[in-house]
Chains A and B, each alone.
Chain A
């Protein structure tokens, strides 16, 4: 009770403080954004025009280092006021005391259409029940096909099942000599194999980490599920339709994979929309005026199972921020419809109401179709094991199996042993 009172006091002092400041010197808040400046420059300028008392300083750090840097800064009272983070980091950051609980702001000064409108709220809610981030953008992965190569291989329909995908990939390789489904099979800690394995499991109605009705967490797979999934992806390597060099490629945007798709040396890929847009851009630059031989489609799924993720970004406010009110004002503005309509057009908004209004256009149709068959990381992010650890263990063991270092059975055993250590 006392604590609550004190918190209320601090909050009201802070409010009075900002009211006072509003009429005095402008405050400067720092916004750390991890993609390119052009994407948000317009929005920041617009915010500063509307709020002459708040100056926004933009900082940038690459995604691969953003989390570590923010955590160490937050621990010693440093860091930006508002930070751009992956959805799956928010629960951890809240638990680390690095970010501010947003409950009061959400209640008193809610975003238009309310907080309920946001996707991935489950990932914003900390283990203590408070909200530690505002979902900002959403993203998903889908399949991308080179339709001209499929035609050369005599394939007219895009595959709807994992079996078809395998057969079509093999057919492309056998009939045209080109690579079929050239997925990145690399073992690095942020390797894309993690996504593909989970999509495969989800579409079969299974998941690696589940939360039981009593609130505890467990591994939701049997060893045979893992073996089956490894065997499935291994066929592409053994058959030669996914070139062996892709065992060293961990990113969907590995330049060799992009180049193979752009130049027609590979027929199928799996990726997020921004990677796909790069491919389309590179193709248009290299073949001006030609029609685009690409199509996107959802990952295979049965009926209403999920076969991809709703990923994306959130905005968080640093627990050390000296201007939390200004920071919230900015955060709310960045998630507004105006920003997505006029300035920030490289990402999709996280509000369901805004997402519905978006015209994805023909090339991105597959991604639009994927959204209803996509899910958040849910129990993976709220569970006891750091998601990075699950991810790393999965890409390592798949890497061992797919490169033939160990049998799929042994690799699956290792995966269970390593993840088992993380579960209570």
Chain B
């Protein structure tokens, strides 16, 4: 009984806040998605149109293209690379070699630099580095890797890798520092025991480090999927969804429909579809993948 009271008090503040901040807007958004509400008609309100917005979305000719961009490039590619590179940096910075050189502390600070940079600045800087006379082209030409400058953000072959690079620069530090702080809590005995058993470096990583990091990796992976899937800033600022509509994703489509075409009803419907896709993914992920890892919890 005392436990019950304790549990309630501990959870209540967070839950109340979340209900207030998500509950109402989500409910409102659902309602709007069945109307033809316009940004210009917020005073008057919209008319009920039933499922028309949803039908329109699913029957769009370019829906599969937008979905492909969102799922494959914006989400899968960027999340997998983010986790891999983040893990790599965390492991690297935790090696003893670097500690003796004090390089690790320097690098931990360096990780704060991209993380504290607002996305707009990150995009602006990278656009410059990727310009025809920019650092990247100069470097590649200087090393004789290419002979002509590449139009990174305009060429269909390079535009997605470039956007993903910008995202990675800005977001890998969160992953790296989170994993690094997990690594720092791995009990030393585990390694000592493994060493006594004659484990190789790879075996130590595979059987000591990785299992220990797994809960954090799974959480970071899930959240990264949500953030990437719903993110519009990088695409919007780097290419404006162009050339043409080549890099259009669901989130930029939401923005375009709401704030360029003024169609709040339709953009809310896109938002609902996105939420359902991510909600389903989240539940499946927790049940099927993360369940075993967070077993002590759930």
Contacts and interface: CB of A to CB of B under 8 A. Distances in A.
Classify A-B as touching or not with yes or no (CB < 8 A). yes
Interface of A: 68, 71-72, 74-76, 92-93, 95-98, 186-191, 243-248, 250, 255-256, 265, 386, 388-389, 391-392, 395-397, 399-403, 405-406
B42 interface: yes
Nearest to B242: A187
Given A245-B152, A248-B152, A405-B243, 7 more contacts: A76-B42, A187-B244, A189-B256, A245-B149, A245-B153, A389-B261, A401-B244
A72 B244 CA distance: 29
Most buried by A among B42, B131, B154, B159: B154
Given A68-B259, A96-B40, A388-B261, A187 B245 contact: yes
B24 interface: no
Contacts of B240: 186-191, 250
Nearest to B259: A68
B132 A256 contact: yes
A286 B243 CA distance: 33
B243 A403 contact: yes
Contacts of A68: 39, 259
A76 B259 CA distance: 17
A149 B153 CA distance: 28
A93 B241 CA distance: 27
Contacts of A71: 39-40, 42
A247 B40 contact: no
B242 A245 contact: no
Interface of B: 39-44, 127-128, 131-133, 149, 151-156, 159, 236, 238-246, 256, 259-262
A247 B243 contact: yes
B151 to A, nearest CB: 4
Contact of A400 (B131, B151, B243): B243
Contacts of B154: 244-248, 403
Given A244-B151, A392-B256, A187 B40 contact: no
A95 B40 contact: yes
A388 to B, nearest CB: 4
Given A247-B151, A389-B260, A187 B241 contact: yes
Contacts of A96: 39-43
Nearest to B38: A96
Contacts of B152: 245, 248
A186 B132 CA distance: 15
B243 A189 contact: no
Contacts of A265: 133
Nearest to A398: B244
B261 A399 contact: no
A400 B241 CA distance: 11
B241 A188 contact: yes
B157 to A, nearest CB: 12
A244 B41 CA distance: 41
Query: Which 7 A-B pairs have CB atoms at the shortest separation, nearest pair first?
Result: A188-B240, A187-B242, A400-B244, A75-B42, A247-B154, A248-B153, A403-B243
B134 to A, nearest CB: 8
Contact of A396 (B42, B238, B242): B242
Contacts of B42: 71-72, 75-76, 96
Contacts of A245: 131-132, 149, 151-154
A68 B256 CA distance: 12
Contact of A403 (B40, B44, B156, B256): B156
Given A189-B256, A388-B262, A405 B132 contact: no
A392 B128 CA distance: 25
Contact of B244 (A76, A98, A246, A396): A396
Contacts of A72: 39, 42
B242 A247 contact: yes
B151 A243 contact: yes
A388 B261 CA distance: 6
A198 B128 CA distance: 29
Contacts of A76: 42
Query: Which among A186, A244, A248 has the highest number of chain B CB atoms within 10 Å?
Result: A248
Contacts of B156: 403, 405
B262 A399 contact: no
A103 to B, nearest CB: 20
Contacts of A75: 42-43
Most interface-central of B44, B152, B244, B256 (chain A CB within 10 A) = B244
A295 to B, nearest CB: 25
Contact of B260 (A187, A243, A244, A392): A392
Contacts of B241: 187-188
A338 to B, nearest CB: 35
Nearest to B137: A245
Contacts of A401: 244
A190 B131 CA distance: 21
A286 to B, nearest CB: 16
A186 B127 CA distance: 13
Nearest to A399: B244
A157 to B, nearest CB: 30
Contact of A399 (B127, B238, B242): B242
B141 to A, nearest CB: 14
Contact of A397 (B40, B159, B239, B244): B244
Contacts of A190: 240
Contacts of B155: 244
A297 B198 CA distance: 79
